[in-house]
Structure 1
Amino acid sequence: MIELHLFPLSLAYQQERYLRQLIPALQLQHWQRRRQHADQLRSILAHAATRLLLADKLHCSPLAIRFQLEPQGKPVISYPDSAWHMNISHSGQWVVVALAPFAVGVDIEQHAGAPEVELIRSCFTPQEQQSIHSTEDFYRAWCAKEAALKAAGTGFAISPLELELVPTSAAQAQVHSPHPILNGLHVGSRLWHQSYSLAWCSQPPQGQPKYVSYGLSDLQKHIKRHVIADNFTNICNSSHYHEQ
């Protein structure tokens, strides 16, 4: 089963100093060169949350986990040895971490207005264009394509026009492509919090993912298990953790 763990960006503002302790210094230095603080925080929250979640599954310290990049740039766990795969995405006020015991891709996008006709033509085949009638349709299909490219590990080394989404249900589709690495992948999508589209991709096909969204007290519980800080305070009395 695919697990989709969703974190609002507000958690990064509230817990930035502790999240930074979970990320190697060289990686932090790279992000600090970004101009916008919000961009830094999205990356910090995404990578710190990934390390926290994997540390619980792999029974190790978050900082002990090592990643390496595949030829096209997809990060995979190199230490400790593990059957788990991960993928991350962030947009606007949300960060999502996908975990699965097989290759997985995920994408989340905040709706940013109606796309131009030329953009639709450059991303979708004529058959796909027939099903794009609204901004929501565009982002749903776009997220599904990007999730497939991320699951395959190719990124945009392969053009979005070189894969076609063939619907198998209202919310799922199979990927048809001349590239064997993409052909046969399965994608699913949904609307998230009214103005975001969320999509995931896997091979073999899966049912609905397990959704887990986090509030402040839930993130703090994860941090407290792995970060030793004498002045760690302000623990919430009530949890906002819920599964959907």
Structure 2
Amino acid sequence: MTVENHLWLPASADLTLLQDEVHVWRIDLDRPEGQLQHLAATLSSDEVCRAKRFYKEQHRQRFIAGRGILRTILGRYLGVEAQQLEFCYESSGKPVLADTFADSKLSFNLTHSVGLALCAVTCDRLVGVDLEYIRPISDVLALAKRYFSPAEYAVMCGLTPNKMQEVFFRYWTCKEAYLKATGVGIAQLEQIEVSLTPGQPAKLKTEQKWSLLELVPANNSVAAVAVEGSGLQLRCWQY
């Protein structure tokens, strides 16, 4: 499944998330100073400390925007103010809602590249999302041989140089989305096999109970969402 740019819609005020839905939010991380100040005020003390560690001002501002907007979005689902949210972290570093909000059964995952972020939200099912801008990689086949299965590598070898770059990032985002959902981490990238068949939705060969949803959030970019279950409805929102 591929979602083009024009299908990203503004969310209504009465936002609801059904159990068979996956919501994905597209977020512009480059925000005016006034908005950044407001978003910074919603962050926890540890998030403020993390923001201060960034050497480049642009990276610091994008971190503040990403975490502040994440808090704002999740707050809308939970009916609480952004600054009231509490996170804890899995061993992989993946943020999850603290036990205070366990009854909501809300799961989320955030990814960003350059000035764009995506936030995936589900109810009572694990979810992961990954976003990459397509860029030239000189040793793309060597990387594919290292991190991809023999079948995936064979597909890569049969492509034109331009198509090879795009398909590499499609494989990468699909695998990374699943690993982020499960909290396993990139170390097991080569153990996850993805089927990319022309005209067919991407599939996880190794995990039958999971779905992959591919997106095109911006020009020259690819993204993927991995989510538990099947027959899910994808809804895309613009923050």
Shorter-chain TM-score tier: 0.7 to 0.9
**Is 1:95 aligned with 2:117?**
yes
The letter of the residue matching 2:70 is T
Report how far residue 203 of structure 1 moved.
Answer: 0.8
Measure, in 2, the Cα distance between the counterparts of 1:150 and 1:55.
22
Cα distance in 1 for partners of 2:184, 2:199 equals: 26
Cα distance, 1:15–1:188 mapped onto 2, change above 3 Å: same
Residue in 1 that maps onto 2:216: 191
Where in structure 2 are the equivalents of 1:1-244 lying within 5 Å? 1-11=21-31, 15-78=35-98, 79-81=100-102, 82-101=104-123, 102-116=125-139, 117-132=141-156, 133=159, 134-156=164-186, 158-167=187-196, 170=199, 172-177=201-206, 184-207=209-232, 209-214=234-239
Q: Distance in 2 between matches of 1:138 and 1:207?
A: 26
Query: 1:146, 1:93 → 2: CA distance?
Result: 19
1:94 to partner: Cα distance? 0.5
* Deviation per residue, 1:203-239 (Å, 9 max, x gap): 102445211123xxxxxxxxxxxxxxxxxxxxxxxxx
* Whole-angstrom distance in 1 between the partners of 2:56 and 2:231: 37
Residues 77 and 100 of structure 1: CA distance in aligned 2, closer, same or farther (over 3 Å)? same
**Counterpart-to-counterpart distance in 1, 2:200 and 2:182:** 20
> Unpaired segments of 5 or more residues in structure 2?
1-20
Mind listing any 5+ residue stretches in structure 1 that lack a counterpart? Answer: 215-244
Task: Tell me how far apart the structure 2 counterparts of residues 192 and 115 of structure 1 sit (CA, whole Å).
Answer: 25
Query: SS of 1:19's equivalent?
Result: helix
Question: How big is the alpha-carbon RMSD for the aligned residues of Structure 1 and Structure 2?
Answer: 2.1
> Could you say what secondary structure the match of 2:216 adopts?
strand
Q: What TM-score, normalized to structure 1?
A: 0.78
Instruction: Give the distance between the partners of 1:115 and 1:205, measured in 2 at CA.
Output: 37
**CA apart distance, 1:104:** 0.5
Q: Which residue of 2 aligns with 1:220?
A: none
**Share of identical aligned residues, percent?**
22
How many positions carry a matched residue from both structures?
A: 209
Cα deviation, 1:100-126, whole Å, max 9, x if unaligned, reads 112100011112213512111112111
**In structure 1, distance between residues paired with 2:142 and 2:197:** 27
Greater relative contact order, per chain length (Cα 8 Å cut-off, separation 6+): 2
Runs of 4 or more above 6 Å deviation: none
Alpha-carbon distance between aligned partners in 2 of 1:150 and 1:12, rounded to the nearest angstrom = 30
- One-letter identity of the residue aligned with 1:149: L
Match of 2:3 in 1: none
Specify the SS of the correspondent of 2:87: strand
Q: Which amino acid aligns with 1:153?
A: G
- Report the AA paired with residue 105 of structure 1: G
1:169 and 1:118 map into 2 onto residues whose CA distance is 23
- 2:42 maps to a residue whose letter is L
- Matches of 1:172 and 1:14 in 2, distance apart? 41
When normalised by structure 2's length, the TM-score is: 0.79
- For residue 61 of structure 1, report the CA deviation from its aligned partner: 1.7
> Is 2:130–2:176's contact at 8 Å kept on the other side of the alignment?
yes
